[in-house]
Chain A
Amino acid sequence: MTTLAEIATYLPAQRVPIEDLAGPLGLTRMQVAVFRRYHGLAEVRRDPGSLADLLLAAAAGLDGLRGREQQVRYVLHARSVPVVAPYPLNPVHEVCQRLGLGHALAFTVTHHACASGLLALDTAARLLADDGDDTRALVLAGEKAFTLDAQLAPETSLFGEASAACLVRPGGRRDRLLSYACRIRGEFDDRRAGPEMMGRYQRVFTEALAEVMHEAAARAGTSLAEISLVLPHNVNRVSWQRLAKETGFPAGRIILDNVPVSGHAFCADAFLNYRTAAGRGLLRRGDRYLMAAAGAGGSFSALVLEH
């Protein structure tokens, strides 16, 4: 059974009110007002350094990494934007070199957009399946909002810079990875984007996400009603409120604290929400909780863990 041995996160100090993004992103005052009042966004974070710096800032918080670098066999960057540096420059490999992990196989897991974080956890678990208890995979999440498409999801969200680092291990006792469910809906491919497709996507979003959440819970031998907490992707508040209403899952058990704090931090959201939940004492031993995310281009994912 794979477990999350440790999760560390990094939230940059620079806070940018979303009103300050209006000019650069070409948003009207009304659009910003909708983001604030309806979507629950308030500010995003920005970090002055590079992508490697951002990821290293989270990894620096992993007590279980220092002195145990040799245990790490795999380093996975969970990435929403597939290409973030000019070829052949390779931030994930730069991170490995700076962390003393040059002996590890490092690569990026992508094409699930902001659901790639959950995919990376599942992928790490599969690669570790044949390895001994003293091996680890390091999953990194977080990206730079370096271009318009990485700053704004029109009418949906605003992206923020933050990062997470997660040590995954075979065996262990806490935060056991019980199940992973994913549905690919490639009919929402970006190349076919247009008003009609976006309308369909909005209608399908709640249903498809609820479906994988139910499936992940069932595969974990439980039901959605018995899940103690949902750690969502921080796309916005209204999408999750709608899902709560549709499924009957209590909205108060969906951690949305970070939507106004960090914005949508790409694949790092669930990890940020984990740290928030842990900090608030909301995770008790034996609790089964669920990470869930949807990705543009057509992926819907959920992952159930036991604390």
Chain B
Amino acid sequence: MLRVYLSDLVRPYRLGLRDDVLERGSGQSYGEMAAALLRDVLPSDQPVDLLVFAFAMPDVVPGRATACYLSDVCPGKPMALALCDAGAAAAFTGLRLISQYARAGQCGRALLVVAEQSALHYDLPAAAPVPAVNTVVALLCETSENNGTVGRGDRAAGQRGGTARESGGAGWGSARLAAVRQHAGVTAARLAGLLSQELSDLGGNQPDATLILGGIPAGAGQPPAVSPGAAKVTFAPPGQPCTGLWWELAGGLPAWRAAQRQVLLAGYDQALGYLSVAAIDARPR
């Protein structure tokens, strides 16, 4: 059935199927990859209220309602939905939705799950980033007790190929999701100025800021073009166009929280013209 579906998918575009990829059974199903991660990191006695699944690269099981499947895997069997067709921006839109659910009092604990996989069953019709590895990252957010907004990034975990990283458990404490901003129609020419302005507005020039940049072309992401005062600038690893930012967050957040830093994530999708910025603040209030 997959071959039938893929043949019908590519026919209008006169693309060839990659029989080698199909016959090897290459690729990774998002459902199985994410379910394994969630089973490992979610305490079964802590129900989740909302799951937002973000992806850009198609699943090797492309017709599956994976978000619904993951809801069944999660404690609490939460409301679940998926966002796609927005490149790396989909995950940031997911965070915005989580914030809105929390502000409406409809979400005490939410999961953002971002996934990508490396197998494409047909010839690429246009230049686009193709992941080099299969990766899933989950960010667990909890609503803070006093103001009903998303307060804490409690746990971020990832599985990439055979490598796991998790930053959760004791000693995490609070790291607030302070802001998520998105811009559309951002050309490469506008990027450096807009990025610099956003990071400056969010405190990215401060010495206690850590920046994680993804999809930012060389030059636009380097000081002095952006945040000359930031003490630390990290780049999303190559080969992870959607999950890279979140993979770095999962790996670095415990130390940044312990050091009471503010972490700013900035992702740019040049083909779609989206710039997304998020601020996770572990500084004392």
The answer to whether A and B belong to the same complex is yes
Chain A residues in contact with chain B, CB under 8 A? 50, 77, 81-90, 92-93, 102-113, 119, 123, 126-127, 129, 146-149, 182, 184-191, 295-299
Residues in A neighbouring B64, C-beta threshold 8 A: 82, 189-191, 297
Q: Which chain A residue has the least Cβ–Cβ distance from B96?
A: A127
User: Does the CB pair B65–A298 fall under 8 Å?
Assistant: yes
Closest Cβ–Cβ distance, residue B49 to chain A (whole Å): 11
Measured in the bound complex, the distance between the Cα atoms of B122 and A96 in whole Å is: 26
Measured in the bound complex, the distance between the Cα atoms of B67 and A107 in whole Å is: 16
User: Does the CB pair A86–B10 fall under 8 Å?
Assistant: yes
Closest Cβ–Cβ distance, residue B47 to chain A (whole Å): 13
User: Does the CB pair A108–B85 fall under 8 Å?
Assistant: yes
Residues in A neighbouring B120, C-beta threshold 8 A: 87
User: Does the CB pair B97–A126 fall under 8 Å?
Assistant: yes
Residues in B neighbouring A149, C-beta threshold 8 A: 1, 5, 63
Chain B contact surface mostly: mixed
Closest Cβ–Cβ distance, residue A227 to chain B (whole Å): 22
Contact check: which of A77, A85, A148 meets B4 at CB < 8 Å? Answer: A148
Residues in B neighbouring A108, C-beta threshold 8 A: 83-86
Residues in B neighbouring A102, C-beta threshold 8 A: 184-185, 273
> How many positions in chain B have a CB within 8 Å of any CB in the partner chain?
60
Q: Is B233 among interface residues, defined by CB-CB distance under 8 A?
A: no
User: Does the CB pair A89–B125 fall under 8 Å?
Assistant: yes
Measured in the bound complex, the distance between the Cα atoms of B13 and A211 in whole Å is: 43
User: Does the CB pair B65–A111 fall under 8 Å?
Assistant: yes
Measured in the bound complex, the distance between the Cα atoms of B10 and A147 in whole Å is: 11
Of all A-B residue pairs in the complex, the 6 with the closest CB atoms, nearest first, are A297-B65, A186-B72, A88-B128, A147-B8, A111-B82, A107-B86
Closest Cβ–Cβ distance, residue A118 to chain B (whole Å): 11
Interface hits, B38-94 → A, CB 8 Å = 53, 56-59, 61-73, 77-86, 89-90, 93
Contact check: which of B1, B61, B68 meets A298 at CB < 8 Å? Answer: B68
Measured in the bound complex, the distance between the Cα atoms of B68 and A182 in whole Å is: 12
User: Does the CB pair B58–A87 fall under 8 Å?
Assistant: yes
Given contacts A77-B85, A107-B83, A146-B9, contact A186 B90 (CB under 8 A): no
Contact check: which of B79, B93, B272 meets A184 at CB < 8 Å? Answer: B79
Measured in the bound complex, the distance between the Cα atoms of B63 and A297 in whole Å is: 10
Q: Which chain A residue has the least Cβ–Cβ distance from B53?
A: A111
Q: Which chain B residue has the least Cβ–Cβ distance from A120?
A: B81
Given contacts A127-B96, A186-B77, contact A191 B61 (CB under 8 A): yes
> What are 11 A-B pairs with beta-carbon distances under 8 A?
A77-B85, A82-B58, A82-B59, A83-B62, A83-B84, A88-B125, A107-B85, A126-B104, A184-B78, A184-B80, A297-B69
Beyond the given A106-B86, A189-B72, please list 13 additional residue pairs across the A-B interface where CB-CB is below 8 A. A82-B82, A83-B9, A86-B13, A89-B126, A105-B86, A106-B184, A107-B86, A107-B93, A109-B83, A110-B83, A149-B63, A189-B68, A298-B72
User: Does the CB pair B84–A110 fall under 8 Å?
Assistant: yes
Measured in the bound complex, the distance between the Cα atoms of B80 and A84 in whole Å is: 21
User: Does the CB pair B65–A296 fall under 8 Å?
Assistant: yes
User: Does the CB pair A123–B63 fall under 8 Å?
Assistant: no
Residues in B neighbouring A189, C-beta threshold 8 A: 31, 64-65, 68-69, 72
Closest Cβ–Cβ distance, residue B271 to chain A (whole Å): 7
Q: Is B234 among interface residues, defined by CB-CB distance under 8 A?
A: no
Q: Which chain B residue has the least Cβ–Cβ distance from A102?
A: B185
Given contacts A149-B1, A189-B31, contact A82 B84 (CB under 8 A): yes
Measured in the bound complex, the distance between the Cα atoms of B64 and A77 in whole Å is: 17
User: Does the CB pair A103–B184 fall under 8 Å?
Assistant: yes
Contact check: which of B66, B81, B125 meets A86 at CB < 8 Å? Answer: B125
Residues in A neighbouring B93, C-beta threshold 8 A: 105, 107, 127
Q: Which chain B residue has the least Cβ–Cβ distance from A296?
A: B65
User: Does the CB pair A111–B66 fall under 8 Å?
Assistant: yes
Q: Which chain A residue has the least Cβ–Cβ distance from B93?
A: A107
Closest Cβ–Cβ distance, residue B268 to chain A (whole Å): 14
Residues in A neighbouring B62, C-beta threshold 8 A: 82-83
User: Does the CB pair A93–B63 fall under 8 Å?
Assistant: no
Measured in the bound complex, the distance between the Cα atoms of B65 and A185 in whole Å is: 11
Measured in the bound complex, the distance between the Cα atoms of B67 and A108 in whole Å is: 14
Closest Cβ–Cβ distance, residue A209 to chain B (whole Å): 15
Measured in the bound complex, the distance between the Cα atoms of B101 and A127 in whole Å is: 10
Closest Cβ–Cβ distance, residue A78 to chain B (whole Å): 11
